[in-house]
Every structure is written in C-alpha cells, then in structure tokens.
Copies of this chain bind each other. A is one copy, B any other.
C-alpha cells in the first residue's frame, strides 16, 4: 500500500500534463492555467486511497482521480468569478488573467473534460460513479449558492452554516473517498462509513481553517491573518460569537462589521476570546474528528489498511498555523 505522500507524488506525476487541445488558444490556455497553479491534489488522492483501502488500485481509479481534480478546478474557476477574487494561490485568478467570459467557458470545458475521464470507466461501475459524482456536483453548487445567500443574511444559524460547509466543502472530500471505494469493490456499509469519515474530516478542517484565520500564528499560516474578519465572512467563530455574546458585545460586533476600524481584527478577536469562542472551536473540531474516526473504525477492513487515511487526517488537521 502507498502512503498519502507517495500517492500524492504518483498522482502529481500523472496529472502534470496538458489536459486540453491547443486551439482555441484563449479557451484552453485558460483551462490549463489553473492546473499549473498547483494545489495539494487532496481530492484525487483521497479517491485513490478510498480504492486502496479495499483492494489494489483499479486502473479506472486514475481516470476517476483526474475527473475529480478537474471538477474541483472547475469549481475554483467559477467560484472565483462569483466571488470576484483577484488572486488564487498568490497568482492571478483565471478571470483576472483571461477575462470573465473566457474564464466562464474555461470552467465549462473543464467540467466536460471531467466527464470525459469518467467515460473511461468500465461498464460495471459507470452508473454508480456517475450517480455519486452528479449528486455531489449538484450539492457543491448548492453550497456555493447558500454561501452567497448567507452573505446577505445577518442571522445564519449554526445548523445552516454547518449544512452549507458540508455542501460546499465536505461532500466532495467524502465522495472522493467513496468513489474510490466503489472501484475497490467496497460494500454499501463500508462506503457509507468511509463517506462519513470524509464528511466529518471536511467539517473539522473548515472549523480549523476558521480558527486559524483568527488565532493561528500569522508567520506559519499561509494566508493573511484576520482576512475573514476584515471581509465580515461568516465563520464558525462569528456565528458562535453572535449566538453566545452579551447584548453589548453583539452591538459592538455589528458596529465593527459596518465600519472598518484600524484595529477591527484585534477588537473582534478580543470579543471571541471573552466569549471563549476559541476554546469552543477547538472542542468543535475535536468533536468532528472523533466522529470521523468513529466512522473509520467501523469500516470492516484490517486496521493496517487504514493507516494512510489516518496519516491524511493528521496531515490535514494537525496544523497549528
């Protein structure tokens, strides 16, 4: 069996080619461009790991891993258009570099190219793969819509936010594992537990991401510290703070969100701390991790086979910054 790092390297070697024709240049260079910006390729590797949990890697799993990574990049291109994001991984976003219309199309052909990889999959699995893939794709779009809806909504509950994060982030991680498991011949029960592992891991990851934006060490943390606070982004922390804060703190939070004080970040963090939102978030992350590991435990394979998935969980969730 491969470790998480070995599989990442193997996938990167295979994936690191031009995936599109030359002509029309504008269109396909835009599609190819985002693939050259790197990324951790977590989702396709999860697909391969989901397969290898049950059996040797099925050659079709490489096609499916390609499809998943192309799908993920399709969502990145379109999300960046919708969010008007100028940068991704420190580089120009596709629409900034190639213009909105070409970026839109570059995303569209990326999605079609994903389905072209799915079409390389053997008859035995194609219907189930398409069903999971399509369902997940719809959910990811729903998550993005809810994320946009919530920007306009001051009163988003914990449950609503958690549901949105599940759709926007977690289901693709979960489905990547499950899709691999399908190709590995896993039974339905094992597939469901693996999906549950991925889904809870994904939410735990988002809790951590939200936490680190406020409380991470800015020197170790890749992103600018407090970016979510500056942008008034809904996060697990903000939603909890609005829920548990005193009336005065709530008024101050709303005031800080309307204005942009020079020390907005520090003031919001101070409120978070006095509401013990930091501790709450750490416990919440542990809760989702524990749920994830409960699902992993339930999967009926030798525990030695689960090692790479444990490595993955620690790789994703043991960051301090």
A: which residues have CB within 8 A of B?
A: 23-24, 26-27, 78, 81-82, 100-102, 104-105, 107-109, 111-113, 115-116, 118-119, 123, 126-127, 130-131, 134, 137-138, 141-142, 144-146, 148-149
Copies in the complex: 2
Verify A134–B112 contact, CB threshold 8 A: yes
Knowing A24-B142, A24-B146, A119-B130, say if A108 contacts B111 (CB, 8 Å). Answer: yes
Of the residues B137, B142, B148, contact of A101 by C-beta under 8 Å = B148
Of the residues B27, B82, B118, contact of A104 by C-beta under 8 Å = B82
Could you list 15 A-B pairs, sorted by A, with CB under 8 Å? A24-B142, A24-B145, A26-B148, A82-B105, A104-B104, A105-B145, A107-B108, A109-B137, A111-B112, A112-B134, A112-B137, A113-B134, A119-B127, A126-B126, A126-B127
Across the A-B interface, the 6 shortest Cβ-Cβ residue pairs? A82-B101, A27-B145, A119-B130, A112-B137, A24-B145, A116-B134
In the complex, chain B residues whose CB is within 8 Å of the CB of A127: 119, 123, 126
A81 to B82 Cα, complex, angstroms: 12
Verify A141–B119 contact, CB threshold 8 A: no
Specify which of A105, A127, A145 lies most central, judged by the most chain B CB atoms within 10 Å of its CB: A145
Verify A105–B78 contact, CB threshold 8 A: yes
A119 to B115 Cα, complex, angstroms: 11
A112 to B130 Cα, complex, angstroms: 10
In the complex, chain B residues whose CB is within 8 Å of the CB of A116: 130, 134
Knowing A101-B148, A119-B134, A148-B101, say if A108 contacts B24 (CB, 8 Å). Answer: no
Verify B78–A108 contact, CB threshold 8 A: yes
A148 to B104 Cα, complex, angstroms: 12
In the complex, chain B residues whose CB is within 8 Å of the CB of A144: 105
Verify B26–A149 contact, CB threshold 8 A: yes
Specify which of A24, A81, A146 lies most central, judged by the most chain B CB atoms within 10 Å of its CB: A24
Verify B78–A141 contact, CB threshold 8 A: no
Verify B82–A109 contact, CB threshold 8 A: no
Q: Which B-chain residue is minimally distant from A135 (CB atoms)?
A: B116
Verify B115–A115 contact, CB threshold 8 A: yes
Additional A-B contacts beyond A105-B141, A118-B130 (10; CB < 8 A): A78-B105, A107-B108, A108-B111, A108-B141, A109-B142, A111-B111, A112-B134, A113-B138, A115-B134, A116-B134
